[in-house]
Amino acid sequence: MSGTGMTDWVGRTRTAADTILAPQAIKLAATLDCPPPPLNEGDPLPAGWHWIYFHEVTPLSGIGRDGHQALGEFLPPVDLPRRMWAAGDIEVTTPLHVGETVEKVSTIEGVEEKQGRSGKLVFVRVGHQYSGSMGASMREVHQIVYREAPAPDAPAPQPQIPPHAPEWSLQMTAGPVQLFRYSALTFNSHRIHYDVDFCRNEEGYDGLIIHGPLTATMLMEVTRELEPGSPLQSFSFRAVSPLTHVHPFSLNARHSDAGLELWACNHRGELAMTALATLG
């Protein structure tokens, strides 16, 4: 599906609701291997942890070849085989709270087709507005990119190097068990996160792909460590290149006039994700 047909999907909405239950958040803390924050009723949910709620519950009959929900219901039926969470922006007016019932209204805000070096690309921008019974108010924009499978002789993308040295850095690994747990918590059945043969034979990666939202959540956890007591006001991130489970990676941060600059690098020191956080 291409051309003007895709623009017909702009403006479509979907509403979901969930209650922010502490047991789910405790499981995420265990998955991140960090001490759980205070999770009594009314306590704020840490930034990024909302992704373990509001699941899209799709029956197996509605799953595509890659394990994701088949397109054509809420998201437009883009006829390109690869999709990824390319970028996101979060603005927090009031955080979500433990015990709060929250409504999430999702709207397709834009569909754009481009021609990249590796072939055709389609970008779908989805806005999410969260509002809760305890006053939660948060807006998120989620950018999805669809692309063609690369040709066998296609040149590798030019790696990007961080422009600055970090003030703070931490070496990390993410093995299959952690990726399995995060997939389970987010009800994410995309095969690139658990099926290593699919990753290598169908997608051309050397291992399981670390979830973009998991990497972004790890970077948001860095803000909690470096600026304890300072609530997150905004967080913008962009995926640059994938991380796989077979190599270590690093989380990095430095303070700047714009806020807290964050980035993740692969084992070669090349950018995998960039982010900017502003704190209250």
The CATH code that applies to domain 4-279 is: 3.10.129.10
Q: Using CA atoms, how far apart are residues 125 and 87, in angstroms rounded to an integer? A: 9
pLDDT for the residue numbered 20: 98
What are the residue boundaries of the structural domains of the chain, listed by start? 4-279
Q: Using CA atoms, how far apart are residues 35 and 38, in angstroms rounded to an integer? A: 10
pLDDT for the residue numbered 114: 87
pLDDT for the residue numbered 2: 47
Encoded amino acid at 223, one letter: T
pLDDT for the residue numbered 110: 95
pLDDT for the residue numbered 1: 45
pLDDT for the residue numbered 256: 95
Sorted by sequence, the CB contacts under 8 Å of residue 222 that are 6+ apart come out as 168, 170, 251, 253, 262
Enumerate residue ranges in the chain where pLDDT < 50: 1-3
pLDDT for the residue numbered 23: 97
| Paired tokens of 10 | 């702009």
Q: For the whole model, what pTM was predicted?
A: 0.92
Where would I find the H helices in the chain? 4-7, 22-32, 176-186, 196-198, 212-226
Q: Using CA atoms, how far apart are residues 273 and 93, in angstroms rounded to an integer? A: 25
Q: Using CA atoms, how far apart are residues 203 and 120, in angstroms rounded to an integer? A: 17
Q: Using CA atoms, how far apart are residues 124 and 143, in angstroms rounded to an integer? A: 6
Nearest C-alpha neighbor of 17 from the set 39, 40, 50:
50
pLDDT for the residue numbered 154: 67
Q: Residue 265 is inside which H or E element, if any? A: strand 259-265
Ordered DSSP codes for 60-124: GGGB-TTSSBPSSSSS-----SEEEEEEEEEEEEE--BTT-EEEEEEEEEEEEEEEETTEEEEEE
